[in-house]
Every structure is written in C-alpha cells, then in structure tokens.
Amino acid sequence: MSSDESPNASAPRERRDAVREKAQQVQARQSRARVARRATLVILVVAVIAVAAVVVTWAVSSAASKPLLKPANVTDDGFAVTEVTGVGVTTGAKQSDVDATPTAAPTATPKAAASDQPVVDIRVYVDYLSSGSHDFQVANAQQLADWVTQDAATLSYYPVAMLTAKSNGTKYSLRAASAAACVATHSPHTFFAYNNALLTQQPGVESDGLTDVQLADLAIASGADDPKVVRSCIEDQSFATWAKDATDRALKGLPGTNDVSLTGTPMVLVNGMPYVGALDDPKEFAQFVLTIASDAYYKDSGATPTATATATPKP
C-alpha cells in the first residue's frame, strides 16, 4: 500500500512547492519593479533640483555681473546743455516779443565787469507727455538757446516720468525719458535738439505716444551720432529703470533747493528758486531770470542796486 500511496502524496507537495516558487518569483519581480520605479523617481527629482539650481545660479550670477544701467553725462539726474546747434526754434513761440539776456542788471557802477557777473543756473524738470512742458519749451526755447550761447546761463534738463499711466498702457513718459537719456549719453551735443523735438512734437495725453522705433527715428533726425548705438539704446529702453528711479528721487526732494520736491511738470528752477509764472510767457520768465540774476549779483558783489532788472521788448 505504501508504495502505491507515495506518488499520490508527493504530487500535492510538488504542486504546492511549484505554486509557492511561482509566487515568490512574482513577488521578486514586483519588488524589483518597485525598486526600479523608486530609483527612477529619485533620479527625476534629483535632475529637476539640479536644473533648478543651475537656473537660479545663472540668474543670480547674470544679475550680479550686469551693472545697473545709468546714463553718462548726468549730474543729480540732469543733463547739461552744452550745444544748441541744429535747433530751429522758430516754432511760433511767443519769444519774439522779448530780447533779454539774464546778466546782472544795469547799474550805476560800471566797475562790475562781465566776468564778475554771476551765471544763472536754470534747471527744467520735464515730462515728455506734459502739456505744460511743451508750452514752456515752445515759448522759451529761443531765449534759452541764446542765454546758453552767450554763456549767460547754464541750462540742464531733468527727464522724469510722472505721466507713465497716461498713454494707454504704453508707458510713453518712461520710454521717452529713457530715450532722452540715451541721446544724452551717446550723443550729448544733440541732446538739446532731441529734447526740443520731443517737446515740440509731443503726442497727446491718453494717446499711445511714439513707439520706440519712432523715438529712435526722431533721435537720428535730430542729428544723433552713432545712430546704431543710439537706436539700440532707445529700442531696448536701456535707461527705463533709471528714469523711474530718478522720478522717485525727484518726488522726494530736489538737490540744491530748500526742501523743494517735484510736484508737477514742468518744474523750472532758477538758482534753486521755483518759477511760478506763466509757462507760455517768455517775457515774464525773462523778468524772473533777470531778477534772480540781479539779486545774486548784488549779494555777491556787495553793491547797492541802483536800477531795476527789466526785460526789454523788441520794437
């Protein structure tokens, strides 16, 4: 009997062993698959972290290696006018009714030589979308140019961007201020001409304003040197950040004044004193300049004023 039952008894054991072995093989394969998936996931995570680290490192190093762009030929965020050539300031302005030079007032003391007379410092804060800035430039461009040419005054313009939100989202004030800084940096002798063109050919408030290409075209038409460099600077808005920061600084306070800050444009300072007269009346502005010059002359010389400074109308 035992010999007959032995094959029957071993068969179930063999089947159980075979099933157990197969189950172990399946479990082993599943374990290997889990390990492989886990390893793949870890590799992916490490790769993502590595890529992110490279990107962050590149961004930080690029920012650190790229200097904050600041225009050249700038003092206290303003650009001094050194030349007035290339400007046809016959724009229909009201300057034709005045012929004044901002030197010291006529006096009964002829000992005061011209070299002793104080130079008047005129600073003009302009927003290239400001209608007041346009009016002041149109009315006074001729006499400002004359005073600079005669070495009777120093003249500086300070581009600011107070009306950036007034151009249908194009940020024209900011772009125009940046463009002016580009010309002042790369072609300083044409800055007055470009500044004059920006103001006399000013777009309307709440319009799109000129495009960057048009701003560059206007700079080239104004005689800018190195047109490729100037165009690239303007179209890249290279000094937009500077223009925004310069505006913020002006809103906090103006250098060389007694706690005067920028409240609107144009703001015109003569020897640090704000001009509050009519923007479109060159005779009134000339009278103000002459008065400031006269006061400075008598203060510096210790002389006693014997005549009043006046603007002499043309016949």
Digit-by-digit pLDDT tens for the chain (315 residues) are 455 555 555 666 777 767 677 767 767 777 776 777 777 766 776 665 765 554 444 443 433 333 458 999 999 999 999 999 766 654 434 333 444 555 443 332 223 334 455 589 999 999 999 999 999 999 999 999 999 999 999 999 999 999 999 999 999 999 999 999 999 999 999 999 999 999 999 999 999 999 999 999 999 999 999 999 999 999 999 999 999 999 999 999 999 898 899 999 999 999 999 999 999 999 999 999 999 998 877 776 655 544 433 333 333
φ, ψ of residue 156 to 5 degrees: the values are -135, 145
**b/e map 185-210, b = 16+ CB within 10 Å:** bbbbbbbbbbbbbbbbebbeeeeebb
Task: Tell me the C-alpha distance between 290 and 49, whole Å.
Answer: 69
Quick one: which of 122, 146, 76, 149 has its CA closest to 296? 122
Contact 194, 85 (CB under 8 A): no
pLDDT of residue 189: 95
Contact 297, 117 (CB under 8 A): yes
Contacts of residue 38, Cβ cutoff 8 Å, sequence gap at least 6: none
Contact 269, 275 (CB under 8 A): yes
Domain ranges of the chain: 1-66, 79-301
Question: Which superfamily is assigned to 79-301 in CATH?
Answer: Glutaredoxin (3.40.30.10)
Provide the whole-model pTM: 0.70
Place of tokens 């179209």: 235
What single letter denotes the amino acid at residue 220? I
Residue 126, SS3? strand
Place of tokens 């300083």: 188
